[in-house]
């Protein structure tokens, strides 16, 4: 077989192609791949006092980590948060997207209102919700005439944090769903209407199947985002809050080890555990999507 020869134009296009790809590849290597490899490497070392000096301990950090109770509690807390935040944020956003994709007066204003939490400063969001959750004079307790300790009760604190997460992300999910809905041809709905299909029938037999690629994308990103929760817990929960051990996530535990305890080896081990959990769940989602996602 003769060697394939490229014309000068093809060589030029190839060079330009690599030139345009280089910034992205460089960013991927510097900002993603290298930090991941460095974190895995660091997890096999014990950091000295004040973060100085590294001593190779093999799997010592992992053994110490899983012998304690903090990692197991953090895993449970992370799953609790994700199980509440992910499905509710997707379901609410999907319903809102369907309504706001229709011919509703002032729909642009409503879309903006629901999207505002995404651009609000996290510190401001935390301050407002801490006031809403206040057991003495908070708005929620005043409305229901109760004195529930929303963020200091270990049994419900993680779910209270998840409610904030749902409120914060539904606007972003809604915009993605609206974008997906606008790609669905109107002919399908017109034809089904002529056949006497109701709105609910159209939703479950036309909208959901044709929107399934967008739903899958949002699900993947939200599961990863749910397992990466940190800022809400850090800003809403006080350091002396008795419910903090019952709400700290895996990322928050990493912060405790790496920055407060100055033990970057243990912190790296926590990150590796989180990475493995996310990879396993993502692979399972990728396998399951073959049964319910319709790309054609």
Burial level of 230, CB count in 10 A (0-12/13-18/19+)? Answer: middle
Give the helix ranges, DSSP H, for the chain.
8-28, 34-42, 60-67, 70-100, 107-119, 122-132, 139-144, 157-181, 186-194, 199-202, 208-227, 231-236, 250-255, 264-292
CB burial of residue 183 (10 Å; 0-12, 13-18, 19+): exposed
- The domain spans of the chain are 67-292
**Digitized pLDDT (tens) for each residue of the chain, 296 residues in all:** 445 677 888 888 888 988 999 999 999 999 889 999 999 999 999 876 655 667 888 999 999 999 989 999 999 999 999 999 999 999 999 999 999 987 888 888 988 899 988 888 888 888 899 899 988 888 898 988 888 889 989 899 999 999 999 999 999 999 999 999 999 888 888 898 888 888 889 899 999 999 999 999 999 999 999 999 998 898 888 778 888 888 999 999 999 998 888 889 999 999 999 999 999 999 999 999 988 888 87
pTM surpassing 0.85? yes
pLDDT for 1 equals 43
- CATH code of the domain occupying 67-292: 1.10.3720.10
């Amino acid at each position: 077989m003769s060697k394939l020869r490229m014309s000068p134009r093809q060589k030029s296009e190839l060079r330009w192609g690599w030139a345009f790809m280089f910034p992205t590849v460089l960013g991927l290597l510097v900002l993603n791949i290298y930090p991941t490899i460095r974190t895995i490497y660091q997890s096999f070392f014990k950091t000295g006092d004040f973060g100085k000096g590294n001593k190779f301990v093999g799997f010592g950090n992992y053994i110490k980590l899983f012998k304690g109770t903090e990692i197991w509690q953090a895993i449970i807390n992370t799953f609790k948060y994700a199980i509440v935040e992910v499905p509710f944020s997707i379901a609410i956003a999907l319903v809102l997207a369907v309504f706001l994709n229709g011919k509703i007066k002032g729909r642009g204003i409503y879309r903006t209102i629901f999207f505002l939490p995404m651009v609000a400063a996290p510190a401001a969001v935390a301050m407002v919700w801490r006031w809403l959750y206040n057991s003495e004079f908070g708005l929620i307790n005043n409305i229901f005439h109760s004195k529930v300790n929303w963020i200091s009760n270990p049994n419900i604190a993680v779910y209270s944090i998840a409610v904030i997460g749902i409120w914060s992300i539904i606007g972003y999910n809604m915009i993605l769903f609206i974008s997906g809905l606008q790609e669905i041809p109107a002919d399908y709905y017109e034809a089904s209407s002529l056949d006497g299909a109701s709105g609910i029938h159209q939703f479950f037999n036309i909208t959901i199947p044709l929107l399934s690629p967008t739903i899958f994308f949002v699900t993947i990103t939200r599961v990863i985002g749910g397992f990466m929760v940190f800022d809400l817990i850090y800003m809403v929960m006080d350091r002396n809050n008795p419910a903090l051990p019952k709400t700290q996530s895996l990322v928050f535990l990493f912060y405790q080890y790496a920055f407060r305890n100055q033990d970057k080896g243990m912190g790296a081990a926590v990150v590796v555990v989180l990475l493995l959990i996310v990879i396993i769940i993502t692979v399972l989602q990728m396998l399951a999507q073959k049964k319910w996602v319709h790309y054609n």
